[in-house]
Amino acid sequence: MAAAAKAQKRQKPPRDPNTNAPWFKPVMFGFLIIGFLWILVYYLSNGRLPVQEIGAWNILVGFGIAFVGFVMTTNWK
């Protein structure tokens, strides 16, 4: 009986389905910030960085990364 009580105490309480996992907000903001920084670095380096070979497509890459973060905001609880 005592072992069953200890096992029951050790169980985590069920997670509230109306909240996000603890990693959700940092990942979401990370995508938004990285996308913004990608575009900022592209403009400040006159197209030499982050990936010179793809040229103006760097803007689309930056917006794509930021878009992933934006889409994640729709699921933020």
Q: Which two tokens stand for residue 2?
A: 């005592």
Mean pLDDT of 45-56: 94
pLDDT at 43 over 70: yes
51 near 58, Cβ under 8 Å? yes
pLDDT given at position 12: 76
Mean pLDDT of 9-31: 87
CA distance 77 to 74: 8
pLDDT given at position 6: 64
Domain boundaries along the sequence of the chain: 33-62
